[in-house]
Amino acid sequence: MKRLLSCYASDFKDMKADELKNAILASEGRTILGETVVTAAPLLEGVTNAEVMSAFGADLILLNEFDVFLKKINGMKDEENPISKIKNLVGRPVGINLEPVDESANLIDEKVKLSSGRLATIDTFKEAEKLGVDFICLTGNPSTGVSNEAINNSIANAKKYYSGLILAGKMHGAGMVENLVDEKMILSFVDNGADGILLPAVGTVPGINENLLSDIVRKIKSKGALVMSAIGTSQESADVDTIRLIGMSNKRIGADIHHIGDGGYGRMADPENIMALSITVRGKRHTYFKMAQSINR
């Protein structure tokens, strides 16, 4: 068993969900996850955002707005299995968002309708399994009407039809007004089988502070689940000092994974912000190791 921050590309090829979870836990709060929107043109012509994020220190790659039936990634030639292709290009575990939309939800914004390949359903879980997706985030994009209750209801099917790592939770309201840190609901995510919980990063949503999150993080971890702090409010394109403050706060509360979102130019975080977050939570030694290693190792 190896810590994720010490892994090479070859270590991930046959890594199972429980092994990936253990590798993250063993890294003691020093795992960086970069997210990108695959329906947008990439930041740099001729290279995917996944490759850029990996080059700047991301350990895990999350593809947002990926439709498991259409299988399209902007900036990459059509592939029968683009997940397999991206994994070969970056040498990192690759995940996708699937969204448990609550059709009864009352939204405070105009609702965004999703394609069937982006919804959290039995069919999409099965397809994600076929594609070799390493992890799934059950979460919601802005104005989609994803609720905590709908997330909770989708976990059982995810566990039944998909063998990878499952992360569940919201990084913002997704168009709804509800308690994002509902302790009873969040702990039930874990009881129902979620491998990790997604929480808004400290300082990214109004009222989300260290005092609020510290206790719930301890309870989540006492149940054996991972905690991912998520920067999902476009602060991924803020200045480097802001990113450092967010990173240190979430390290203090006990986050296992530090997520940085897709709200920057090219629909990914500013590359220097990925590197700044990485250096903040694990220093230059481990950051440069990730940036420098070849995918052929």
Q: Mean pLDDT, to the nearest integer, of 112-133?
A: 97
- Cα separation, 9 vs 289, whole angstroms: 12
Q: What percent of the chain is modeled with pLDDT above 90?
A: 91
Q: What is the pLDDT of residue 48?
A: 96
Q: What is the pLDDT of residue 177?
A: 80
Amino acid present at 248: M
Q: Mean pLDDT, to the nearest integer, of 250-256?
A: 97
Has residue 276 got a pLDDT over 80?
A: yes
pLDDT tens profile 22-46: 999 999 999 999 999 999 999 999 9
Q: Mean pLDDT, to the nearest integer, of 241-246?
A: 98
- Cα separation, 296 vs 139, whole angstroms: 33
Q: Which of 170, 162, 171, 174 is nearest to 134 (CA)?
A: 162
- Cα separation, 202 vs 66, whole angstroms: 27
CATH 3.20.20.60 holds for 4-292: yes
Q: Mean pLDDT, to the nearest integer, of 170-182?
A: 86
Determine if the pTM surpasses 0.85: yes
Q: How many C-beta atoms lie closer than 10 Å to residue 272's C-beta?
A: 12
Q: What is the DSSP string of 84-130?
A: HHHHHHH-S-EEEEEB-B-TTPPPSSPPPPPPGGGB-SHHHHHHHHH
Domain boundaries, the chain: 4-292
Residue 191 · residue 222 · CB < 8 Å: no
Residue 42 · residue 74 · CB < 8 Å: yes
Q: What is the pLDDT of residue 105?
A: 78
Q: Mean pLDDT, to the nearest integer, of 103-125?
A: 90
pLDDT tens profile 98-112: 999 998 877 888 888
- Cα separation, 5 vs 58, whole angstroms: 10
What does the chain come to in residues? 297
124: Cβ contacts below 8 Å, ≥ 6 apart: 68, 69, 98, 116, 117, 118
